[in-house]
Structure 1
């Protein structure tokens, strides 16, 4: 008796569905960047040019939508950190370059700033696997800088959320120079501040 395949092949995502999802994410970035976490799903739907039901079909809650924005941002931040692992150079400067690059990425995305400062546990749950991997990669960069004697020994990747939240707060405050804030933090991490 011939065996039958009981698995149903996965349907490819329809092109219009994928386009709608991308339009929703673009509109959400803009809406959260402008209004912060006060943004409503109706605001996102209007910005995307779709009905609010379409938004809810893709993202059943506002937290799910914010979670996807946070996850995407951390995927990019993780990519920068992985690139740092491949770079030659003085280990502290490699770490600092990765941090600067990631801060520039965050500075250009007000939605990410709001998420970093105000997202709850439900939002962070969507990005948790990416954030966990990011902690591992950043710790390797930190370990290298500490082994070279260039970074204070009591710093770890567990401190990075505090660092990024502080710099994000400077970004959100219109009159503060977040780059100066970052350089002051980096000097505080060196074993011999410049």
Structure 2
């Protein structure tokens, strides 16, 4: 890319990263807060995204595409059935697409393209779920909708910095996976449990 195009691509990435951080913290935040966090002028942001609605649509579209990519990769894994399903679960948790669902669902008008992506993502999630049930490695009384809400529960875990949050999410994902697997597994959980100080610190703002 030329220098100008490369700069535009960098600005776009900064804008999207900032938008995700701003709107998952406060869906009602103004678009100017995104420009400020991204360190770009508001005019540069509006050239790329003419409205907050367009920016939210882009964020959710990217999230759906990432969900689809992770799920397709897991479906392409023809190895041990449980490990393929577990890879899907870990991949979705790492992608953190459900943070967008928790915060942004109902805050903007979905486009037809978002509708198509959502249908594709749902179809793939159902396919990998059914494959695990048919292989006898996933308990049959759990539905794809159950898994979707489990993802949202895990995405709601936010404690400490990004590294600590990721560590705790995988700790509780492992606990959940052990209850989903057939036969049930009992493995050592990754990462230390949260300490009382970590939990109580959420109620105190730095002075």
Q: TM-score range by the shorter chain?
A: 0.7 to 0.9
- Partners of 1:116 and 1:168 within 8 A in 2: no
2:118 to 131, 139, 143: 131
Higher RCO (Cα < 8 Å, 6 or more apart): 1
1:150 and 2:137 matched: yes
- Partners of 1:91 and 1:141 within 8 A in 2: no
The count of residues paired between Structure 1 and Structure 2 equals: 174
Cα deviation per residue 1:97-124 (whole Å; 9 max; x = unaligned)? 1110221222xxxxx5642322122548
Which residue is equivalent to 1:78? Answer: 68
SS in 1 for 2:27: helix
1:87 and 2:72 matched: no
Mark the CA change 1:144 to 1:183 in structure 2 (over 3 Å): closer, same or farther: same
- Structure 2 runs not aligned, ≥5 long: 186-207
1:48-63 alignment runs, 5 A limit: 48-63=38-53
Cα deviation per residue 1:110-142 (whole Å; 9 max; x = unaligned)? xx5642322122548254322221121121111
Which residue is equivalent to 1:178? Answer: 169
> How far 1:157 sits from its partner (Å)?
2.4
TM-score computed with the length of structure 2 as normaliser? 0.69
> How far 1:53 sits from its partner (Å)?
4.4
Cα deviation per residue 1:23-52 (whole Å; 9 max; x = unaligned)? 42233234346x442432111122344443
Which residue is equivalent to 1:4? Answer: none
- Partners of 1:74 and 1:131 within 8 A in 2: yes
- Structure 1 runs not aligned, ≥5 long: 1-13, 107-111
Alpha-carbon distance in 1 for matches of 2:99, 2:151: 12
> How far 1:22 sits from its partner (Å)?
4.0
> How far 1:19 sits from its partner (Å)?
5.9
> How far 1:162 sits from its partner (Å)?
0.6
Which residue is equivalent to 1:10? Answer: none
Alpha-carbon distance in 1 for matches of 2:98, 2:79: 30
Larger Rg: 1
> How far 1:166 sits from its partner (Å)?
0.4
Mark the CA change 1:56 to 1:159 in structure 2 (over 3 Å): closer, same or farther: farther
> How far 1:18 sits from its partner (Å)?
5.8
